[in-house]
């Protein structure tokens, strides 16, 4: 019997079948959901290179899922379609799986390599990150250094530099404490000079020869030191561990360290010590870049300090120079004042001394002219001689002073050389004959007769030299020679610096004075021309003289661009004084043959009749004033009278002319004229009588001539008219103007 | 400097006008020439002298002519003096009047003399005013630091 009842789907006998059924269901579910997930996530992500593979894989999975799904229907008896579908699905699945498997052979290595590359890139990225970090830090450091340098170098003040360094370093590195120890003057200790936190550090000192300090000084790197080191014990001990401490040396460069061609030698012994402390309760450590920063900053500080030192030096030098300048200026002004005072004194003394001297000499010579007894004459002569000597001395001293400060200038003029020598001879012969010395003069024939130079001073020089020769000779002879110096003879071995160059309008006069006197020893020769220095031998002590003569002569000779020297073979062998001076050659000699007497100028009103004593008589006040002024303008010495009586009273032989302004001729004028004639009998003693008259006619003129007048002038009288009238009158002793 | 130049020009113009009008003649120029640094106030001094003299003489003449019996000799003497003074200073107008005055004196013409005296007084006052103006101009120039220009 077959029953037509519906059989239960699941045969109750196979539990295993039931589990397989469930598993297949879930497999199918999973197989369908995986592609969905894949699609979902791939869609979400943008980077997934193998989409084609995805499709394949998806297909593979879907078909696998389909297979498992269809498998569900195979648990129960199923129709043929299901079987065929199942078969198709399985076939397809097998196909796709194989294809996929084949594809995967290619794809998996790729995927693996992608993975490797990814790893590589990740490593690279990490490395770059590290390097980036490093560069950033370095750049940070560099920026800090630049900023610090800028801060430090923006000032040239030593203290500011150091303070700024500490402050900036403290800020940049977030230090707890930063301190600078400077070497003391002795160089044996380090003294705490600057700190960051404490304003005015008390002068702690640490001996310089500490092992730690030596270690730091021996290298130019920043060195980590122990916080217990004496230089690092700057902060009161805290509860926590003190932070790490680094110390670095700061070279103190001196100026001498900078050679132009070399790098600065860091072999200087002087270092300061900079100590930097990290905050004590942080776990910070000194990084390399921080240490490098510190080292770089230290170098900059060293340079900045040296710059500051240079600046200080130069400021000091400049101040010194300014002080010296001021002192020199003051000294110069004092010297000028002294010179001025001396010149004033000399000028005054010059005048004050010369005036009485002049009086004495003049009066003595006048006295000589009078009648004197022999004793009186002797006395007067002595007075005259002494005062002449004194006058010479005064002149010498004053001349020398003027010579010394270069204010003396030569009075150039044309003169006769022969005359000069003859004058000297004339002056010296009396004294020489008294001493029984024979004086001879020889002038070379080619010596020009006239020369241009300072005649007075040349004569003074010759006189001085010859005078010396006479003074220092007790017996024998004096020879004076003068000639034109030739170029060959101009070069003298004793005066190598004297190289005269003769030219067309100059010649060199050489004068030699040889005496047979006491001579000069060779070692005294240089002192001869020193003023006030005299040879102290017995012969000279009585000779008088101030010792200035040769000094003055030397100055004169130098002014005349020449040279003077003395040759002597020794004591007792006489000496020769030689000098060469430069004289000019005058252009036209014949003009100066006669002494030049200027003619009296006739057109210079003021001195036409200098000092001519005249008497003016005029009753009219106005016209008297006018006439007086007129005559005074011509230089006359005018006496005025207002009446004829006064005129007769005052008239004397001193008056050369009497001017009468007569209003009415004939009355008083007659009387005055005759009285004057009586008074002065001799014609050359009588003053000339001239009348001024307002108008004239022949009769008046004849009358005037008759009564004895010497001249007649018609008014008005102009200045020129009066001048010509007076000159005619004085020349001819009579003047009657034509009518 | 312009002020000084202006004043100097004024001075020259005034001087020339005085000469042109016949109030002063060449003698006055001669006096001005005599003035120099040795006698800087010569002209003023002479002028003052002249004014004094003039006034005295005019008074004398007036008094003499007022008398009943006129002493013409005395008047003549005064006129002569005045003539001399005025010619010394170059006051040509005054001098001319004096010449006329003298002839009236010789003629013993009282009316004429009085007329002349009047004229003389008039001329003298005119001259005095003009000279005083001239001197004032000179002072101004000197005070401004200039120098008196010389008139040929």
* Average of per-residue pLDDT across B76-102: 87
Planar angle of CA B60, B65, B67, nearest 5 degrees: 105
Closest CB to B80 among A626, A663, A715: A663
Contact B49 A622 (CB under 8 A): yes
Q: Residue B38's pLDDT is what? A: 76
* Average of per-residue pLDDT across A67-86: 79
The pLDDT confidence band at residue A48, using thresholds 50, 70 and 90, is low
Q: Residue A601's pLDDT is what? A: 40
Q: How far is B27 from chain A (nearest CA, A)?
A: 7
Residues facing A613 on adjacent strands: A637
Interface-testing mutation among B25, B28, B30, with chain A (most A C-beta atoms within 10 A)? B30
Helix (H, G, I), strand (E, B) or coil at A179: strand
Q: What is the mean pLDDT of chain A?
A: 78
Q: What gap in Å lies between CA A178 and CA A290, rounded to an integer?
A: 14
Contact A718 B30 (CB under 8 A): yes
Q: What gap in Å lies between CA A672 and CA A218, rounded to an integer?
A: 129
Burial class (CB within 10 angstroms; exposed 0-12, middle 13-18, buried 19+) of A160: middle
CB < 8 Å to B90, chain A: 716
Nearest to B55 by CA among A621, A381, A133: A621
* Average of per-residue pLDDT across A458-482: 87
Contact B81 A663 (CB under 8 A): yes
Residues facing A239 on adjacent strands: none
Q: What gap in Å lies between CA A620 and CA A715, rounded to an integer?
A: 14
Instruction: Choose from A52-56, A554-558, A676-680 the range with maximum mean pLDDT.
Output: A554-558
Burial code of A248-285, b = ≥16 C-beta within 10 A, e = fewer?
bbbbbbeeebeeeeeebeeeeeebbbbbbbbbbeeebe
CB A713 within 8 A of CB A599: no
pLDDT tens per residue, range A295-313? 888 888 888 888 887 888 8
Planar angle of CA A399, A401, A403, nearest 5 degrees: 65
* Average of per-residue pLDDT across A564-583: 86
Contact A626 B34 (CB under 8 A): yes
Question: Looking at the complex, does the CB of residue A543 fall below 8 Å from at least one CB of chain B?
Answer: no
pLDDT tens per residue, range A642-660? 888 888 888 887 888 888 8
Nearest to A241 by CA among A197, A283, A287: A283
Interface-testing mutation among B27, B29, B34, with chain A (most A C-beta atoms within 10 A)? B34
Q: Residue A161's pLDDT is what? A: 82
Nearest to A608 by CA among A731, A733, A724: A724
Q: Residue A324's pLDDT is what? A: 95
CB A737 within 8 A of CB A709: no
Q: How far is B9 from chain A (nearest CA, A)?
A: 26
End-to-end CA distance of chain B: 23
- List, in order, residues 6 or more apart from A523 with CB less than 8 Å away: none
Closest alpha carbon within chain A to B80: A663
Contact A632 B31 (CB under 8 A): no
Closest CB to B34 among A619, A633, A694: A633
Q: How far is B49 from chain A (nearest CA, A)?
A: 6
pLDDT at A608 over 60: yes
The pLDDT confidence band at residue B39, using thresholds 50, 70 and 90, is confident
- Hey, what long-range contacts does A226-234 have (CB within 8 A, 24 or more apart)? A227/A277, A230/A206, A231/A179, A231/A181, A231/A190, A231/A206, A231/A273, A231/A275, A232/A275, A232/A277, A234/A177, A234/A179, A234/A192, A234/A195, A234/A275, A234/A277
Residues facing A692 on adjacent strands: A661, A713
* Average of per-residue pLDDT across A416-432: 85
Q: What gap in Å lies between CA A466 and CA A115, rounded to an integer?
A: 130
Closest alpha carbon within chain B to A628: B34
Contact A620 B85 (CB under 8 A): yes
- Residues on B contacting A at a C-beta cutoff of 8 Å: 26-27, 30-31, 33-34, 36, 38-39, 42, 45-46, 49-50, 53, 80-81, 83-85, 87-90
> In chain A, pLDDT over 90 holds for what percent of residues?
6
pLDDT tens per residue, range A649-696? 888 878 888 888 876 555 677 788 888 888 877 666 778 888 887 766
CB atoms within 10 A of CB B9: 11
CB A431 within 8 A of CB A469: no
Strands A613-618 and A575-584, sheet pairing: unpaired
* Average of per-residue pLDDT across A448-466: 87
CB < 8 Å to B85, chain A: 620-623
CB < 8 Å to B30, chain A: 716, 718-719
CB < 8 Å to B49, chain A: 621-622, 625
Q: Give the H/E segment covering residue A450.
A: strand A450-453
Q: How far is B7 from chain A (nearest CA, A)?
A: 28
Residues facing B24 on adjacent strands: B91
Q: Residue A202's pLDDT is what? A: 66
pLDDT tens per residue, range A185-213? 777 788 887 888 776 666 678 888 888 88
Q: Residue A131's pLDDT is what? A: 93
Where is pLDDT greater, at A80 or B55?
B55
- Hey, what long-range contacts does A485-489 have (CB within 8 A, 24 or more apart)? A485/A509, A485/A510, A485/A580
User: Tokens 């002839």 sit at which residue?
Assistant: B103
* Average of per-residue pLDDT across B133-141: 88
Interface A-B: count of C-beta contacts within 8 A: 60
pLDDT tens per residue, range A11-30? 556 788 888 888 888 888 88
* Average of per-residue pLDDT across A365-377: 86
Q: Which residues of chain A from 589 to 628 reach within 8 Å of chain B, CB to CB?
A: 619-623, 625-626
CB atoms within 10 A of CB A618: 25
User: Tokens 């014609």 sit at which residue?
Assistant: A683
Q: In angstroms, how far is CA A231 from the centroid of its own chain?
A: 50
Q: Residue A200's pLDDT is what? A: 61
Q: What gap in Å lies between CA A517 and CA A469, rounded to an integer?
A: 7
Residues facing A190 on adjacent strands: A183, A206
CB A331 within 8 A of CB A350: no
The pLDDT confidence band at residue A540, using thresholds 50, 70 and 90, is very low
- List, in order, residues 6 or more apart from A395 with CB less than 8 Å away: none
pLDDT at A739 over 50: no
pLDDT at A610 over 50: yes
SS (H, E, C) B70-93: CCHHHHHHHHHHHHHHHHHHCEHH
CB < 8 Å to A621, chain B: 49, 53, 85
**B109 phi and psi, to 5 degrees?**
-95, 105
Residue A685 C-beta-side C-alpha neighbours within 13 Å: 10
Contact B49 A719 (CB under 8 A): no
CB atoms within 10 A of CB A667: 11
Helix (H, G, I), strand (E, B) or coil at A521: coil
Model ipTM? 0.81
Q: What is the mean pLDDT of chain B?
A: 86
Strands A657-661 and A688-693, sheet pairing: parallel
Q: What gap in Å lies between CA B131 and CA B38, rounded to an integer?
A: 22
CB atoms within 10 A of CB A57: 19
pLDDT at A394 over 70: yes
Interface-testing mutation among B29, B33, B84, with chain A (most A C-beta atoms within 10 A)? B84
Rounded to 10°, the helix A80-153/A51-74 angle is 150
Domains of chain B plus CATH, in order, are: 1-144 (1.20.120.160)
pLDDT tens per residue, range A253-288? 665 544 444 555 545 567 888 888 888 777 778 888
Closest CB to A625 among B33, B36, B45: B45
Q: Residue A260's pLDDT is what? A: 46
Helix (H, G, I), strand (E, B) or coil at A681: coil
CB A154 within 8 A of CB A308: no
User: Tokens 């050369």 sit at which residue?
Assistant: A656
Q: Residue A381's pLDDT is what? A: 84
Closest CB to A622 among B36, B39, B88: B88
Q: What gap in Å lies between CA A165 and CA A154, rounded to an integer?
A: 11
Q: Residue A480's pLDDT is what? A: 92
> DSSP string spanning A589-634?
-GGGSS---PPPPSS-GGGSSTT-EEEEEESSHHHHHHHHHHHHHT
Radius of gyration of chain A (CA): 67
Closest CB to B33 among A632, A663, A719: A719
Interface-testing mutation among A618, A620, A624, with chain B (most B C-beta atoms within 10 A)? A620
Contact A620 B53 (CB under 8 A): yes
Token pair in block for residue B133: 């103006």
Nearest to A200 by CA among A208, A190, A189, A192: A192
Helix (H, G, I), strand (E, B) or coil at A495: coil
Q: Residue A259's pLDDT is what? A: 47
Q: What gap in Å lies between CA A162 and CA A155, rounded to an integer?
A: 10
Q: Is the peptide bond before A716 cis (omega within 30 degrees of 0)?
A: yes
Nearest to A641 by CA among A663, A660, A665: A660
CB A148 within 8 A of CB A169: yes
A282 DSSP 8-state letter: S
Q: Give the H/E segment covering residue A303.
A: helix A288-369
**pTM summary value:** 0.35
pLDDT tens per residue, range A688-730? 888 887 766 667 777 777 777 888 887 777 777 888 888 888 7
Contact A622 B45 (CB under 8 A): no
Where is pLDDT greater, at A533 or A436?
A436
Which stretches of A524-574 are assigned E, i.e. beta strand? Answer: 563-568
Contact A719 B80 (CB under 8 A): no
CB < 8 Å to A716, chain B: 26-27, 30, 87-88, 90
Token pair in block for residue A400: 């020398």
CB < 8 Å to A661, chain B: 84
pLDDT at A333 over 90: yes
A637 DSSP 8-state letter: E
> In Å, how far are A304, A310, A311, A417 from A262, measured between CA atoms?
19, 18, 22, 73
Nearest to A481 by CA among A502, A450, A509: A509
């Amino acid at each position: 019997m077959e029953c037509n009842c519906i059989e239960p789907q699941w045969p109750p006998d196979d539990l295993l079948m039931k589990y397989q059924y469930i598993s297949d269901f879930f497999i199918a579910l999973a197989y369908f959901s995986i592609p969905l997930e894949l699609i979902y996530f791939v869609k979400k992500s943008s980077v997934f290179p193998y989409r084609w593979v995805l499709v394949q894989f998806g297909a593979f999975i879907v078909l696998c899922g389909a297979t498992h799904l269809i498998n569900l229907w195979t648990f129960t008896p199923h129709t043929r379609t299901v079987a065929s579908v199942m078969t198709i699905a399985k076939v397809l699945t097998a196909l796709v799986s194989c294809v996929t498997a084949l594809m995967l052979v290619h794809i998996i290595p790729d995927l693996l390599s992608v993975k490797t590359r990814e790893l590589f890139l990740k490593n690279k990225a990490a490395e770059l990150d590290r390097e980036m970090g490093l560069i950033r830090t370095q750049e940070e450091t560099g920026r800090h250094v630049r900023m610090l340098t800028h801060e430090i170098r923006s000032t040239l003040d030593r203290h500011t530099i150091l303070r700024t360094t500490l402050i900036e370093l403290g800020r940049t590195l977030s230090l707890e404490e930063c301190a600078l120890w400077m070497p003391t003057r002795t160089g044996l200790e380090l003294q705490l000079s600057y700190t960051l936190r404490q304003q005015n550090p008390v002068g702690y000192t640490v001996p310089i020869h500490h092992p730690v300090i030596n270690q730091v000084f021996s290298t130019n790197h920043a060195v980590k030191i122990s916080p217990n080191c004496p230089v690092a014990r700057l902060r009161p001990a805290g509860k926590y561990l003190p932070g790490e401490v680094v110390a670095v040396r700061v070279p103190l460069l001196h100026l001498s360290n900078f050679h132009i061609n070399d790098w600065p030698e860091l072999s200087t012994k002087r270092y300061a010590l900079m100590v930097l402390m990290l905050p004590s309760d942080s776990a910070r450590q000194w990084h390399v870049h921080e240490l490098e920063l510190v080292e770089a900053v230290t170098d900059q500080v060293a340079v900045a300090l040296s710059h500051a030192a240079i600046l200080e030096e130069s400021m000091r030098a400049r101040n010194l120079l300014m002080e010296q300048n001021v002192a020199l200026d003051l000294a110069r002004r004092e010297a000028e004042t002294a010179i001025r005072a001396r010149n004033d004194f000399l000028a005054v003394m010059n005048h004050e001394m010369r005036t009485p001297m002049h009086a004495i000499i003049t009066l003595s010579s006048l006295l000589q002219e009078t009648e004197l007894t022999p004793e009186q004459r002797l006395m007067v002569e002595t007075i005259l001689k002494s005062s002449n000597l004194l006058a010479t001395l005064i002149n010498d001293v004053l001349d020398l002073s003027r010579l010394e400060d270069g204010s003396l200038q030569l009075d150039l003029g044309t003169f006769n050389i022969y005359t000069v020598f003859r004058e000297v001879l004339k002056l010296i012969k009396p004294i020489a004959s008294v001493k029984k010395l024979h004086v001879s003069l020889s002038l070379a024939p080619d010596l020009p007769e006239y020369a241009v130079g300072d005649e007075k001073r040349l004569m003074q020089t010759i006189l001085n030299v010859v005078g010396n020769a006479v003074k220092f000779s007790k017996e024998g002879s004096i020879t004076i020679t003068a000639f034109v110096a030739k170029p060959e003879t101009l070069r003298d071995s004793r005066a190598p610096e004297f190289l005269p160059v003769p030219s067309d309008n100059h010649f060199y006069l050489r004068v030699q004075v040889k005496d047979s006197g006491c001579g000069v020893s060779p070692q005294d020769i240089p002192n001869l021309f020193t003023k006030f220095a005299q040879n102290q031998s017995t012969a000279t002590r009585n000779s008088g003289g101030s010792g200035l003569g040769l000094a003055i002569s030397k100055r004169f000779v130098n002014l005349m661009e020449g040279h003077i020297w003395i040759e002597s073979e020794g004591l007792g062998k006489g000496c020769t004084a030689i000098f060469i001076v430069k004289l000019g050659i005058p252009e036209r000699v014949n003009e100066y043959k006669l002494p030049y007497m200027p003619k009296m100028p006739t057109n210079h009103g003021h001195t036409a009749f200098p000092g001519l004593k005249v008497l003016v008589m005029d009753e009219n006040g106005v016209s008297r004033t006018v006439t007086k002024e007129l005559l005074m303008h011509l230089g006359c010495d005018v006496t005025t009278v207002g009446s004829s009586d006064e005129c007769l009273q005052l008239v004397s032989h001193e008056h050369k002319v009497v001017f009468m302004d007569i209003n009415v001729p004939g009355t008083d004028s007659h009387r005055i004229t005759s009285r004057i004639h009586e008074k002065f009998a001799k014609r050359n003693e009588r003053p000339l009588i001239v009348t001024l008259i307002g108008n004239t006619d022949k009769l008046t003129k004849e009358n005037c001539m008759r009564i004895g007048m010497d001249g007649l002038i018609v008014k008005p009288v102009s200045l020129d008219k009066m001048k010509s009238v007076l000159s005619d009158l004085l020349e001819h002793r009579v003047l009657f103007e034509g009518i | 400097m312009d002020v000084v130049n202006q004043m100097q020009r004024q001075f020259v113009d005034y001087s020339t006008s005085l000469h042109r009008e016949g109030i002063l003649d060449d003698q006055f120029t001669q006096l001005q020439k005599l003035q120099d640094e040795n006698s800087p106030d010569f002209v003023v001094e002479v002028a003052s002298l002249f004014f004094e003299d003039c006034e005295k003489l005019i008074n004398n003449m007036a008094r003499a002519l007022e008398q009943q019996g006129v002493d013409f000799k005395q008047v003549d003497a005064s006129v002569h003096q005045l003539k001399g003074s005025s010619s010394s200073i170059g006051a040509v107008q005054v001098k001319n009047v004096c010449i006329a005055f003298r002839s009236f004196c010789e003629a013993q013409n009282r009316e004429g003399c009085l007329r002349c005296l009047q004229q003389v007084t008039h001329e003298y006052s005119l001259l005095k005013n003009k000279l005083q103006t001239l001197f004032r101009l000179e002072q101004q120039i000197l005070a401004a630091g200039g120098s008196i220009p010389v008139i040929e």
